[in-house]
């Protein structure tokens, strides 16, 4: 039930992403950035000095910097350690007790640590929307698009994108700012989003749009 050791693999290339059925144009002034589960516990199965972890950390950090410069809200999810069995629910059946309260488990990677007005949501289930006020916080800020980054692509990132769609929030899965157990899992998650609930996009294209947005000038 423990997390598997994850072998290095290259992230999807920008010119090899699955075509998205959704054609929503990215609107930086109506979007929010989600940095999903980038805690030490969830990142530990990856090699710390190799792809995909090194690459997604770099890309997420670049997106966060650009988002803050645009006035775009930056949200994080982070689980709490030593959850009560009643709070952990069925996840305990599949994944065991989860993380402890130690900083080496709970802390978000220092390269991606929240700053300023960033908002950290307590994570309870796969989807960031479950038992959180993420939707309320987005609506209050006039945001109708969500950029989904982090780990794991085929679990929490996919569940969050699917639920965003069902709440009429347009999800954008950032292909090279997510990582997974395997390249196959990663590709499956992106393909499902592209076919069923959102847009699959590359970091470089989002950065170009944010840097060209009027609120960033």
Q: Is the dihedral of CA 55, 59, 60, 65 positive or negative?
A: positive
C-alpha separations of 74 from 40, 105, 120, 197 in Å: 19, 22, 9, 22
The candidate with the shortest Cα–Cα distance to 56, out of 183, 197, 174, 181, is 174
Among 15, 37, 87, 93, the active-site one is 37
Active site residue 37: yes
Distance CA 54, CA 46 (A): 9
8-state DSSP, 199: E
Burial of 183 (C-beta count, 10 Å sphere; 0-12/13-18/19+): middle
Q: Residue 121 CB: number of other CB atoms within 10 A?
A: 18
Give catalytic residues, as residue numbers: 37
């Amino acid at each position: 039930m423990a997390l598997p050791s994850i072998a290095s693999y290259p992230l999807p290339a920008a010119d090899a992403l699955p075509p998205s059925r959704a054609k929503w144009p990215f609107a930086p002034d109506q979007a929010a950035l989600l940095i999903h589960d980038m805690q030490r516990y969830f990142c530990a199965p990856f090699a710390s000095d190799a792809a995909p972890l090194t690459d997604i950390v770099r890309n997420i950090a670049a997106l966060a910097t650009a988002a803050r410069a645009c006035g775009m809200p930056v949200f994080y999810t982070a689980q709490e350690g030593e959850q009560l069995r009643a709070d952990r629910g069925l996840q305990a059946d599949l994944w065991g007790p989860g993380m402890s309260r130690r900083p080496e488990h709970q802390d978000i990677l220092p390269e991606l640590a929240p700053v300023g007005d960033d908002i950290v949501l307590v994570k309870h289930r796969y989807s960031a929307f479950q038992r959180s006020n993420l939707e309320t916080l987005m609506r209050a800020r006039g945001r109708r698009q969500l950029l989904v980054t982090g780990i794991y692509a085929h679990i929490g990132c996919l569940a969050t994108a699917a639920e965003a769609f069902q709440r009429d929030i347009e999800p954008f899965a950032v292909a090279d700012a997510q990582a997974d157990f395997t390249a196959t899992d990663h590709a499956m998650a992106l393909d499902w989003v592209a076919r069923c609930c959102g847009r699959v996009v590359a970091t470089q294209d989002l950065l170009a749009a944010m840097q060209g947005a009027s609120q960033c000038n």
